[in-house]
Amino acid sequence: MKDVKVLGPGCKRCEATEAMVKDAAARLGVDVTVEKVTDYAAIAGFGVVSTPGIVIDGKVVHAGGLPKPEAVEKWLQG
């Protein structure tokens, strides 16, 4: 089961990213827990400078802007 964190203080892009991750996981049938991290200190703790960011199993896979759906799928499958 993958532990996915979506980093973002709550702007629309960050919410869209969270939705994308959940959609992709459902589509691929991958087991995930998706957690939205909005606390600035926590976000900074990952070293992410621009949101939205995506952390999977403790590793930052994306930071800044909306990710491409096929990239999200690749990360979830990898």
Partner 1 sequence: MAPVIYRNALNCAPAHESPHPRSRKGVGMADHALTSPQSSPQGSPKQSSPWPWFAGVGLALAAWVLVYSQLIPASEWLVSLLPVDRSSHLGSALAFFFYDTPKVILLLTLIVFAMGVVRSYFSPEKTRALLAGKREGLGNVMAAGLGVLTPFCSCSAVPLFIGFVSAGVPLGVTFSFLIAAPMVNEVALGLLFGLVGWKVALTYLGFGLAVAIVAGWVIGRLKLEGWLQDWVRNIQAGTAGPIPDEEPTAVDRIHLGLDAVRDIVGRVWIWIIAGIAAGAAIHGYVPAELMVGIMGADAWWSVPAAVVMGIPMYTNAAGVIPIVEALIGKGAALGTTLAFMMSVIALSLPEMIILRKVLTLKLIAVFIGVVGTGILAVGFLFNALFH
What is the binding site for partner 1 (CB under 8 A)? Answer: 7-17, 19-20, 40-41, 43-51, 55, 58-66, 68-71, 73-74, 78
Q: How far is the CB of 53 from partner 1 (least distance, A)?
A: 8
Q: Reduced to 3 DSSP states, what percent helix, strand and coil does the chain have, rounded to the nearest 5?
A: 40, 25, 30
Minimum distance of partner 1 from residue 32's CB (angstroms): 17
Nearest CB to partner 1, comparing residues 1 and 41:
41
The radius of gyration of the chain's CA atoms, rounded to the nearest angstrom, is: 11
Instruction: Give 31 or 70: the residue with its C-beta nearer to partner 1.
Output: 70
Task: Give, as one character, the DSSP assignment of residue 21.
Answer: H
Looking up tokens 């096929």 gives: 70
